[in-house]
Amino acid sequence: MAGYKVEIMEILRHVVEVEAGSQKMAEQIVNDRWKDGEYILDADNFAGVEFKAVPVNR
């Protein structure tokens, strides 16, 4: 029987609307606010899960 390491990646998603002079500036504003704890994503923001298996080299 083969061994596998399986990565579980949960995806959380939250959309916020901001006004900014450019797309890059909008992303930076939201990034800064997220780092400051203004946006906290939790189970209510669950958008999916992915599983990826890779063989364990023995």
Three-state DSSP state, 28: helix
CB 53 within 8 A of CB 5: yes
Can you give the pTM of this predicted structure?
0.76
The model's pLDDT over 6-45, given as tens digits with 9 standing for 90+, comes to 999 999 999 999 999 999 999 999 999 999 999 999 999 9
pLDDT of residue 53: 97
